[in-house]
Amino acid sequence: AQSVSQHNHHVILSEAASLELGCNYSYGGTVNLFWYVQYPGQHLQLLLKYFSGDPLVKGIKGFEAEFIKSKFSFNLRKPSVQWSDTAEYFCAVIPPTGTASKLTFGTGTRLQVTL
């Protein structure tokens, strides 16, 4: 089945460490790609999105993601994490145009940043 995969379920990092969270999707064609963050007890916030153009996307709070079409990947990165980045991170995909608009989420990665 077509899907979105996040292989890192729980990541623990020390402050100032670099972060990379993996996201792979299995849809063919042109997709829209997103990373959302959900801080404890809060709602989903959009970190960044890709739908065309430069495959390196910069988002809020110092996050960036790179779309690699040949690898069907859209990994999230941050050079130096902060304690306040502790949250759940969701990768999400909207399948190609022509398919009903349906944002599909990965299972999420829980990031815990220690002091």
Partner 1 sequence: DTEVTQTPKHLVMGMTNKKSLKCEQHMGHRAMYWYKQKAKKPPELMFVYSYEKLSINESVPSRFSPECPNSSLLNLHLHALQPEDSALYLCASSPGERFQRTEGRGYTFGSGTRLTVV
Binding site for partner 1 (CB under 8 A): 32, 34, 36, 42-46, 49-52, 88, 90, 94, 97, 100-108, 110
Query: CB of residue 55 vs partner 1: minimum separation in angstroms?
Result: 14
Give residue 21's identity as a one-letter amino acid code: L
108 φψ region: left (φ > 0), alpha (ψ -120 to 50), beta (else): left
Query: CB of residue 57 vs partner 1: minimum separation in angstroms?
Result: 11
Query: CB of residue 86 vs partner 1: minimum separation in angstroms?
Result: 14
Dihedrals phi, psi of 14, to nearest 5 degrees: -85, 155
Please list the residues that pair with 88 across neighbouring strands.
38, 110
Q: Which residue number, 3 or 18, has a Cβ lying nearer to partner 1?
A: 3
